[in-house]
Amino acid sequence: MLYDRLHQAIASSARSRQHGAVLFIDLDKFKALNDSAGHEAGDALLKAIARRLTETVRQDDTVARLSGDEFVVILENLGNAADAATKMAYTIANKLREALSAPYTLGELTHQTTPSIGIATFCGSAREPNQLIRDADTAMYRAKSSGQGCICVHADTHEA
């Protein structure tokens, strides 16, 4: 479903010349929660993360769990100008970071996590869905290596 939605977003972008973005989100230290509190706590956290993501993004944006503690958000209609679209994607990513960094109550356990977020933007059909997700993933790993709770934009994010 994620790749279908991304194909649709790219096609819509090609028609409208509106920029879009892929946000790749990875939870910092998720494995530590699973190891210390068990998989039930980890599953509860993933459900709470998904809920916060869908409550924070715009109604037309797409939220998907890719695997484990990795989520992808597809942002559409970010505007016609590449720089402004990248800034808007960063602003939305920052709102997501703030929402996801607030404490979680998981039964009797209170847990706090931070997300590392990578951003790759697109306009039109210049890039394939797999490449966009790889680029956002690369940016996320750069964010993760910069410290917990960081956001990075992929360097090749301004195509024509």
Is 43 catalytic? The answer is no
Give the pLDDT band (50/70/90) at residue 35: confident
Assigned domain for 141 exists: yes
Domain of residue 15, residue span? 2-153
Assigned domain for 95 exists: yes
Separation CA 48–CA 100 (nearest Å): 9
The CATH number for 16's domain is 3.30.70.270
How many domains, in total, are found in the chain?
A: 1
Assigned domain for 160 exists: no
Catalytic residue among 69, 135, 137, 156: 69
Residue-wise pLDDT for 91-128, tens only, equals 999 999 999 999 999 888 888 999 999 999 999 877 89
Assigned domain for 126 exists: yes
Note the pLDDT of residue 36: 87
Cα Rg, the chain, nearest whole Å:
15
